[in-house]
Amino acid sequence: MNAKQWSMASLAALVLLTAGCGKEADTPEAAGSGDKEMKGEIVMWHSFTQGARNDFMKEAADAFMSKHPGVKIKIETFAWPEFYTKWTTGLQSGQVPDVSTALPNHVVEMLDADAIVPLNDVIDKIGRDRFYEAPLKEGTVDGKNYSIPLYSHAQVMWYRKDLLEKAKLPVPKTWDELYETAKALNNPPEVYGLSVPMGLGDMMATRFLNFYVRSAGEALVTKDGKANLTSKAAIDGINYWVKMYKTTSPSGSVNFKVLDQATLYYQGKTAFDFNSGFQIGGVETNSPKLLDQIDAAPIPKINANDPDRGIETSNVPMVVWKNSKHPEIAKAFVESLYEKERYIKFLHSVPAGMLPAMKDIAEDPAFLDNPTIQKFSGAVKVISSAVDQGTAIGMENGPTLESGILANQGVIEKMFQNIVLKNEPVEEAAKKAENELNQLFKLYQ
Amino acid sequence: MRPVGRSKVGVALLYLFLSLLSVLAVFPLVWIILSSFKTSGEMASHPLAFFPETFTFEYYRRVLNNLHFATNIKNSLIVSLSATLITIVVSSLGAYGIVRFFPKAGKRMTKLLITTYMFPPILLAVPYSIIIIKLGLVNTWTGLVITYLSFSIPYAIWMLSGFFQTVPLEIEEAARVDGAGKWRVFVQVVLPIVAPGVVATAIYTFINTWNEFLFALLLINSSGKMPISVALYSLTGSEILDWGEMMAASVIVILPSIVFFMLIQRKIAGGMAEGSVK
Amino acid sequence: MNSLRTSFKRWNLTGLLFVLPAVLIVVLLLIYPILSSMYYSFTSKNLIRPHYQWVWLDNFRYVLTNPEFYRAFANSIKWTVLSIVGQLLVGFAAALALNKIPRFSGFFRTLLIIPWAFPAIVIAFTWKWIFNDVYGFLPNLLTQLGITSHNVNLFAEPSLVFGAVLFVNIWFGAPLFMVNILSALKTIPADQYEAAMMDGATPWQSFWAITIRHIRGVIGLLLVLRTIWVFNNFDLLYLMTGGGPSDLTTTLPIFAYKTGWGLKQLGVASAITIILLLFLLVVCMLYFRLLNKWEKEDR
């Protein structure tokens, strides 16, 4: 590169710099109050790409528009990974929606990017004390609620009744029992005992490790925001999943992401799996005959007499974006989703998969009156009690950016891969991954 | 000629070699076509079965009806055809200009064009999304077409210069003597001669834009405007992965490309070989 | 005055009009991204945060002291060199064979060209499906034949994964070499071989002196283009393996993507690209030097 080119580059830099400054000057102002007749177009992004949930959102938007003739709602659907790429890149150019669904650790990042607005008014209108507290807390900073919980679900253990019966084995309650049972049922390529997913670009291995660590009463992120992969529980957990991978898992599961993992169970190829109530719908679509043979149990414990502990709960919220020109419309639309009848209809679009974010709805006969929820009443009970106690991975101490890094950067997945593929010693690999995570945490401060 | 081309054993070996390669080349296509007609139970339980036990058109029906793939195909057609058209017009002029009027500078130009290839598309994404917003073309096909020009024009110029070089100067001079201007010579004399090459370049450009994935993923925000490659990607990220739908969708996406490729393969190579040998 | 005018005339206004639109578009579409990447590479630009600072060479220091960068660099070179050599050898062999066989040449060529028409997303999906160790064709076949004791997933075996992705890339890229080399072979006048035979040249000698000599220009250009393409290629590898397992297939573009989009460190990612660009410039200069030499020899 010669001097001329360098000077060109710096000239361009100067131009860009000034352009950037100009942009910052005109910060978007909150739109004026338009309480009486709402008018305008809003864009909603959601990630319900398929089936009844997708239809539901369309209907909800249509209903809202016919009630408010001046309003137009444009809906776009993106699968979660795509959704994430879209809004992070979109933020650069102002290409974000007015209102959208989100995942808890997205919310933390959206807050970091100063991209969303508080929704206290919406929550108060719906009834603040109707909501469960834990999910509300996940989007709360300094008393401001930046997200409103839409539904909740929790990870539980799914098993195959028929396989257990045939082998005359009980439902495992401890991790050791699970290992022995999965090993006994392992009969590839017909059925694998339990697949241990470790794919990069997803958080499955982190999730599995978190199960074990949480069941021991520990967490992957310490109170002062440091990664913790070298506690006894973490090392034991890593060893446990490595052993499980080598015994009962298809070798390709090192590359599995969430869908690969779940599909195996949907198709009757694994005896055990971990998932929320969404598992039911998946099995129903893929192999309806298996529907009578599946059930859920709590996540195993280290010792049978350990107390019940919260493991992993996902509370999927909605957010309203700062970029919105019509936040009042966006908020009104969000509010409309929580009208009792409509809300129950929404929850029933994935029966037993989406549990209410509001206490009164959970006990409402209208909500319980659904064939799937009744058929799987046992599983629903297991999931509901798990929902109560758990948090998102790494959010045991409230919403932090660390939890997002833990889930999104694939450090733990890579650690597992290094152990099972390159035979790295467990403690060494854990130490290395812990350092790497802490380094990444620093990058974000 | 080499003896291997003469002896019968040699020829038989060549056929064997080519047959093996062909099986490898074709197998994935055949496999997804066959699989797209199998039921999901069959795919899971008989991984080695070649022909479907029961033919099902269910996946094609679902892909075309429920998933609105028809819309995505239409979107892809609009974007790819416009990008191709602009590319061909601009590049034909450019390539002819380089070959006829700036033969010396042209050498440097082609090198420069190749250099423009060096910038990894992945890092063009953010600058492009900023340009596109400044132009007010966010989430529009126009915006996408503009980004496609960035990679299709350099390649098209390079391919087309090869074809234009094959046009004998004498023909043009003869036309010029008859009183035709430079533009007329270009349109009425030169273009007809290189027409097959132009068509080949056009189809090649079309396929490249048809298959493009990254920019479409990042620059188009509404599913109603998404081209087909991104729609296909969305399928893999949906809540319930349906292998059958994925296969059917893949077949729908590749078949047109394959037909195009078969039509043009001779031409694509023709231009390149002649261009560079000279 | 007069001489200036004629030189303007020679400067060729019409010719300029022909070239102008193309030049404008190429320049406008590439200058801005390149310059802005250069600029960002000196800043702490974050993908989603609104504010950033000028950090001088920090990003380059961060990249150049990062062992992962060197691993990705090594993977990139391995991936590029082996892919290109493989594509060239397979494509060349197929082209020679097609040129020799008396019949069905068109038929085979049509079949062999099919992989080229696959979009990256379909390539990745299809091969993942074939290699899948639960439902996939290959692992089940190998187990059935007794070659493996249990189903092995090629993308999940550290010793095999690189070979597997290379195989897919060669599968995809060889047809392009084949088609282009084949048409170059067709332009070799047959009488040259006859003359060589009369002179008593062995087939091997005439292969080197005539065949290779004749088509090396085409091969050279193909090498330049494909080297750049493979080196910069992101989607194929990303969609097949995502760079894994355990970074075994992480190349520089994937590393840049993970830094820019995963870690959101756009400044660092820009620095990686600039380094990548400089490296490619050097490689291409070497290629061009070789091509120029050949051209002079041919004259």
Q: Residue A196's closest CA among A267, A247, A268? A: A247
Q: Which long-range contacts (CB under 8 A, 24 or more apart) does B164-173 make?
A: B164/B95, B164/B96, B164/B99, B164/B100, B164/B190, B164/B194, B165/B99, B165/B274, B165/B275, B165/B278, B166/B193, B166/B194, B166/B197, B166/B274, B166/B275, B166/B278, B167/B193, B167/B194, B172/B100
* Across B91-119, average pLDDT: 80
Max Cα separation, chain C?
88
Q: Residue B203's closest CA among B256, B245, B146? A: B256
* pLDDT the model gives residue A31: 40
Q: Which residues contact C178 (CB under 8 A, 6 or more apart)?
A: C90, C91, C92, C94, C95, C98, C109, C112, C113
- Is the pLDDT score of B85 beyond 70? yes
Share of chain A above pLDDT 70, in %: 92
DSSP state of A217: T
Beta bridge partners of A41: A72
Task: State the Cα–Cα distance between residues B33 and B20, nearest whole angstrom.
Answer: 20
Q: Residue A298's closest CA among A169, A156, A158? A: A156
Q: Is A254 close to C39, i.e. CB distance below 8 A?
A: no
In this prediction, residue A122 has a pLDDT band, given cuts at 50, 70 and 90, of very high
In this prediction, residue A207 has a pLDDT band, given cuts at 50, 70 and 90, of very high
In this prediction, residue B119 has a pLDDT band, given cuts at 50, 70 and 90, of confident
Look up the CATH superfamily of C83-250: MetI-like (1.10.3720.10)
Q: Best interface-test mutation with A: which of B238, B242, B245 has the largest number of A CBs within 10 A?
A: B238
* pLDDT the model gives residue C20: 87
- Is the pLDDT score of B106 beyond 80? no
Nearest to A9 among C38, C47, C262 (CB): C38
Residues of C in contact with A421 (CB under 8 A): 156-158, 245-246, 248
Beta bridge partners of B207: none
Beta bridge partners of A77: A46
Distance from C62 to chain B by nearest Cα, in Å? 18
* pLDDT the model gives residue A249: 95
Range with lowest mean pLDDT among A58-62, A361-365, C22-26, C98-102: C22-26
In this prediction, residue A5 has a pLDDT band, given cuts at 50, 70 and 90, of very low
In this prediction, residue A14 has a pLDDT band, given cuts at 50, 70 and 90, of very low
Domain spans in chain B, listed from the N-terminal domain onward? 3-58, 59-277
In this prediction, residue A63 has a pLDDT band, given cuts at 50, 70 and 90, of very high
Nearest to A9 among C35, C151, C263 (CB): C35
Q: Is C19 close to B261, i.e. CB distance below 8 A?
A: no
Q: Residue A261's closest CA among B93, C132, B4? A: C132
- Is the pLDDT score of A20 beyond 60? no
Measured CA angle at C294 (ends C290, C296), to 5 deg: 115
User: Candidates 3.40.50.2300, 3.40.50.300, 1.10.238.10, 1.10.3720.10; correct CATH number of B59-277?
Assistant: 1.10.3720.10
Range with lowest mean pLDDT among B52-61, B78-87, C163-172: B52-61
pLDDT tens digit string along A126-147? 999 999 988 888 889 899 999 9
* pLDDT the model gives residue B270: 56
Q: Which two tokens stand for residue A94?
A: 């102002």
* pLDDT the model gives residue C83: 97
In this prediction, residue B239 has a pLDDT band, given cuts at 50, 70 and 90, of low
Residue with tokens 């369309």: A58
Q: Is C248 helix (H, G, I), strand (E, B) or coil?
A: coil
In this prediction, residue B5 has a pLDDT band, given cuts at 50, 70 and 90, of very low
- C17 or A121: which carries more pLDDT confidence? A121
pLDDT tens digit string along A170-181? 999 999 999 999
Measured CA angle at C38 (ends B108, C70), to 5 deg: 95
* Across A82-105, average pLDDT: 86
Nearest to C130 among B31, B266, B270 (CB): B31
* pLDDT the model gives residue A361: 94
B126 and chain A in contact, CB less than 8 A: yes
* pLDDT the model gives residue A11: 42
* Across B140-155, average pLDDT: 89
DSSP state of B5: G
How many CB atoms lie under 10 A from the CB of residue C289? 9
Q: Is A82 close to B217, i.e. CB distance below 8 A?
A: yes
* pLDDT the model gives residue A174: 97
Please name the residue of chain A whose CA is at the shortest distance from the CA of residue C54. Answer: A17
* pLDDT the model gives residue C10: 53
Task: State the Cα–Cα distance between residues A135 and A313, nearest whole angstrom.
Answer: 9
* pLDDT the model gives residue B82: 96
**Candidate ranges A92-101, A186-195, B53-62, B212-221; pick with highest mean pLDDT:** A186-195
pLDDT tens digit string along B170-213? 888 888 888 888 888 888 888 888 887 888 788 778 888 988 88
* pLDDT the model gives residue A311: 92
- A101 or B255: which carries more pLDDT confidence? A101
* pLDDT the model gives residue B254: 87
Q: Strand A144-145 and strand A140-141: pairing?
A: antiparallel
Backbone torsion region of residue A127, taken as left when φ is above 0, otherwise alpha when ψ lies between -120 and 50, otherwise beta? left
Per the CB < 8 A criterion, the answer to whether C134 and A252 are in contact is yes
Share of chain C above pLDDT 70, in %: 96
Domains and CATH numbers, chain A: 40-153+313-389 (3.40.190.10), 156-311+409-443 (3.40.190.10)
Range with lowest mean pLDDT among A207-211, A263-267, B103-107: B103-107
* pLDDT the model gives residue C117: 85
Range with lowest mean pLDDT among A202-206, B10-14, C133-137: C133-137
Q: Is A93 close to B238, i.e. CB distance below 8 A?
A: no
Domain spans in chain C, listed from the N-terminal domain onward? 83-250
Q: Residue B269's closest CA among C113, C207, C289? A: C113
Residues of chain C under the 50 pLDDT cut? 1-9
A69 and chain B in contact, CB less than 8 A: no
ipTM of the complex: 0.85
* pLDDT the model gives residue C124: 92
